[in-house]
Structure 1
Amino acid sequence: MCLGVPMRIVEGDDISALCERREERRRVSMLLLGPQPIGTQVLIHIDTAVRVLDAEEAGLIDQALDGLAAAMRGEDFGSAFADLDREPQLPDHLR
């Protein structure tokens, strides 16, 4: 399974950017988004920035990733998904 992770741009140019998330720094391709200002949160998938994120969405993704890590360790993860305050619903075409 591949997951996208939010990272913040710390330096960059038209082609690539150095991004960080927590203790990790990674050079990623910016070819899909073009140059972005330093401090911009982007979603990284396979070392490529695929979408600009606002701070709230980046935080929710980080929280979900923390919940996934807790679940894999056998710990309680319910608080990591507090924004999901309802049961998932099937789309109409699948009901």
Structure 2
Amino acid sequence: MCVGFPMTVIEGDAFGALCERRGERRPVSMALVGAQPPGTKVLVHIDSAIRVLDPLEAAQIDDALDAVEKALAGENVDHLFADLVDREPQLPDFLRK
């Protein structure tokens, strides 16, 4: 399974940036997304930023990753999916007809 992680740009240019996630800093290629200002959230896969994220989406991805860890430990994960609990499943627009 391949997993991407949200990271925050600390500094960099169009080619590479120093990014941070939960206290860990690492160099990340920015070739696919271009230069991003400090504070920007990016989805990082195999040390390459593959997409710029808005803060809400980055938080939702972090919650989902935390939920996997907690579920494997047998813990409740409902609070990490507050946007999905207590609502009916919804089809994407292109499948609704």
Into which bin does the TM-score normalised by the smaller protein fall? Answer: 0.7 to 0.9
Q: Does 1:26 align with 2:59?
A: no
Gaps of 5+ in 1: none
Match of 1:55, as an amino acid?
A: P
CA offsets 1:35-73 (integer angstroms, 9 cap, x no match) = 111111000011110111111111111111111110111
Q: Does 1:8 align with 2:8?
A: yes
Instruction: Give the 4+ runs in structure 1 shifted more than 2 A.
Output: 85-92
Distance (Å, rounded) in 1 between the aligned partners of 2:58 and 2:7: 8
Q: Does 1:68 align with 2:68?
A: yes
Q: Which residue of 2 aligns with 1:78?
A: 78
Deviation at 1:82, TM superposition (A): 1.6
Distance (Å, rounded) in 2 between the aligned partners of 1:73 and 1:47: 27
TM, length-normalised to structure 2: 0.85
SS where residue 52 of structure 1 aligns?
Answer: strand
Distance (Å, rounded) in 1 between the aligned partners of 2:23 and 2:73: 20
Match of 1:86, as an amino acid?
A: E
Distance (Å, rounded) in 1 between the aligned partners of 2:39 and 2:91: 36
Structure 1 vs Structure 2 CA RMSD: 1.9
Matched length = 93
Distance (Å, rounded) in 2 between the aligned partners of 1:71 and 1:23: 23
Distance (Å, rounded) in 2 between the aligned partners of 1:89 and 1:72: 28
Distance (Å, rounded) in 2 between the aligned partners of 1:27 and 1:44: 10
Distance (Å, rounded) in 2 between the aligned partners of 1:3 and 1:86: 27
Gaps of 5+ in 2: none
Deviation at 1:88, TM superposition (A): 6.4
Q: Which residue of 2 aligns with 1:87?
A: 89
SS where residue 83 of structure 1 aligns?
Answer: coil
